[in-house]
Amino acid sequence: MSKVITPTVGRKVWYWPSVGDMAGPIPMIKIPGQPLDATVIAVHGDRMVNVLVTDVMGRQFPVPSCDLLQPGDEPRTTESGQIIGRFVEWIPYQKTQAAKESA
CB 53 within 8 A of CB 63: yes
Q: What is the DSSP letter of 77?
A: B
Amino acid letter at 3?
K
What confidence category does residue 16 fall into, taking pLDDT thresholds of 50, 70 and 90? Answer: very high
Whether the CB-CB separation of 35 and 101 falls below 8 Å is answered with no
CA distances from 25 to 11, 20, 21, 22, 74 (A): 28, 9, 9, 9, 29
Using the predicted structure, report yes or no on whether residue 17 has a pLDDT greater than 80.
Answer: yes
Which pTM value belongs to this model?
Answer: 0.91
Q: What is the pLDDT of residues 37-66, one digit of tens each?
A: 999 999 999 999 999 999 999 999 999 999
Sign of CA dihedral 22, 45, 69, 55: positive
